[in-house]
Amino acid sequence: MLSPKQIKSFNDSNAKINIWQGAVRSGKTYISIIRFLKAVSEGPLGQYVILTKTYDSFKRNILPQIMNFIGADARHYSGKRELQLWGKTINVVGCEDERSEYKIRGMTACGAYVDEATIIPESVFKQLIARCTMGGAQIFATTNPDSPFHWFKKDYLEGNPDVKTWAFTLNDNPQLTQSEKEFLIRQFKGIWYKRFIEGLWVMAEGCIYDFFDINKHVIEYPPGQATEYIVGVDYGTANPTAFTLIGINRSLFPNMWVEEVYFYDSKVHQRQLTDTEQAEALSLFIKNRPIRAIYIDPSACSFKLELSRHNIPNLYDGENEVIDGIRFVSKLLSNGTLKICKSCQPLIKEFQSYCWDPKCAIVGIDKPLKVNDHVLDSVRYAIYSHMFAKEGNRLTAKDIDRNYRESQGSIVTDLPRQLTSIDEEWGGY
């Protein structure tokens, strides 16, 4: 079953560049992949391209749907990073930074699909257009809204004669029930709600966690006994060092809470701590607790070496995708999964004062000001790395929604597969 918007976009997507934009889970990826597959099936023999932020995001968001549509006619070769469909080759290209442009330079493509175009580097997208200039090759792309000053919006969504675009909302996905829409709405607040639920291109400005409410997000004490802890570490010498202790218990609501904070500012104490002293402080901080993992600022090489010398186990580099991490922490605060214990005052203060950089905002870049962020960075390292980037340790959408419903005294009903998939729920925005 398809919605009228999906059917119209499928039938009318005959431009050089065709863009599906709008809210999360609005059905835009589903119909755009079908349209791309139609172009491949009818197109000439040759090379086609799929661009994604990372190869992992392709495996999460695109590959399962292609295999579901095509089945035995599709062959996926992970080592070569390519698909074979109907005798045609589709190259899968991860585009993490501007250097990825060289991966498609010189290629002649018969068509292309772009997943989440606003997080693809501009130079890569422009190179893709140059690769798709012959034989009627078309580009099919999806995106969630971003800044109104983003290059993609200015160049391709505002009066470009070679582009057709369709704006999707939750109501354009006929597979979503009302309860599923309400579940999605609970996941976002502030700028993320405007972009990912309302489908608006709005600027990141003011306080990043503008929805943070002490009465709602702060608790006096932990809700119960943690079954495991994770720790986030933001390391500094001249700058402050922060450790955060985060409790997890999947059977409780909230499922996660920041229980304790260590914060040392050498400027306040007028003395810098050595790596040895900081390692001893961390040893004391985690003593006699069931620590599942410690996620550390990936640039803190000397400190990680010192921690190894102190035989502190379960050390991991923290994922440092700043905006994705902020968005993920925002989601867990919004849906009630994450709470902050009242004793963690340095963290509470940072939630209230962490702001977007206004100079970056006016050129279409979401970037926080690098002030009042050390404890927040440690929380982001731990939560985003453990619950999203580290396979096998995440809370699923089912965990979160079940516990939320129980806390509200509602009847518990399982969400459908499309929302409870771990990869789909935390990836593929």
Q: How confident is the model at residue 312 (pLDDT cuts 50, 70, 90)?
A: very high
Average pLDDT, the chain: 89
218-267 tens-digit pLDDT? 999 999 999 999 999 999 988 999 999 999 998 998 999 999 999 999 99
Tell me: do 344 and 235 sit in the same domain.
yes
Give me the CATH number covering residue 350. 3.30.420.280
- Determine the length of the chain: 429
Tell me: do 277 and 372 sit in the same domain.
yes
Assigned domain for 420 exists: no
pLDDT over threshold 90, residue 407: no
218: helix, coil or strand?
strand
Please give the tally of structural domains in the chain.
Answer: 2
Cis omega before residue 254 (within 30°)?
yes
Give me the CATH number covering residue 74. 3.40.50.300
Assigned domain for 345 exists: yes
How far apart are alpha carbons 12 and 206 in whole angstroms? 39
Tell me: do 375 and 288 sit in the same domain.
yes
- Domain limit, last residue, from 151, 176, 201: 176
Average pLDDT over residues 334-360: 96
Assigned domain for 415 exists: no
Tell me: do 324 and 255 sit in the same domain.
yes
Tell me: do 222 and 318 sit in the same domain.
yes
Tell me how crowded residue 244 is: count the other CB atoms within 10 A of its CB: 30
Tell me: do 122 and 224 sit in the same domain.
no
Assigned domain for 59 exists: yes
CB 333 within 8 A of CB 271: no
Q: What is the pLDDT of residue 414?
A: 31
What share of the chain in percent tops pLDDT 90? 79
9-47 tens-digit pLDDT? 999 999 999 999 999 999 999 999 999 999 999 999 999
Q: How confident is the model at residue 429 (pLDDT cuts 50, 70, 90)?
A: very low
Contacts of 125 (CB under 8 A, 6+ apart): 51, 114, 117, 152
Q: What is the DSSP letter of 205?
A: -
Q: What is the pLDDT of residue 250?
A: 87
Tell me: do 170 and 220 sit in the same domain.
no
Q: What is the pLDDT of residue 421?
A: 29
Residue 8 belongs to domain spanning: 4-176
117-168 tens-digit pLDDT? 999 999 999 999 999 988 899 999 999 999 999 999 999 999 999 999 999 9
Long-range contacts of 153-157, Cβ-Cβ distance < 8 Å, separation of 24 or more: 153/118, 153/201, 153/364, 154/364, 156/17, 156/19, 156/117, 157/19, 157/21
Tell me: do 341 and 273 sit in the same domain.
yes
How far apart are alpha carbons 343 and 295 in whole angstroms? 22
For the chain, state the CA radius of gyration: 23
75-111 tens-digit pLDDT? 999 899 999 999 999 999 999 888 899 999 999 999 9
How far apart are alpha carbons 200 and 203 in whole angstroms? 9
Assigned domain for 254 exists: yes
DSSP for 152-197, written as a single string = HHHHHSSS-TTEEEEEE-GGG-TT--HHHHHHHHTT--HHHHHHHT
Q: What is the pLDDT of residue 420?
A: 29
Assigned domain for 49 exists: yes
Tell me: do 325 and 266 sit in the same domain.
yes
Assigned domain for 426 exists: no
Q: What is the pLDDT of residue 372?
A: 87
Tell me: do 37 and 143 sit in the same domain.
yes
Assigned domain for 208 exists: no
Tell me: do 263 and 346 sit in the same domain.
yes
Instruction: Give the pTM.
Output: 0.83
**Is the pLDDT higher at 406 or at 114?**
114
Q: What is the pLDDT of residue 408?
A: 46
What share of the chain in percent tops pLDDT 70? 90
Closest CA to 330 of 319, 320, 322, 342: 322
Tell me: do 269 and 360 sit in the same domain.
yes
- Domain limit, last residue, from 115, 148, 176: 176
Average pLDDT over residues 45-61: 92
pLDDT over threshold 50, residue 399: no
Q: How confident is the model at residue 389 (pLDDT cuts 50, 70, 90)?
A: low
Average pLDDT over residues 372-384: 95
63-77 tens-digit pLDDT? 999 998 988 788 999
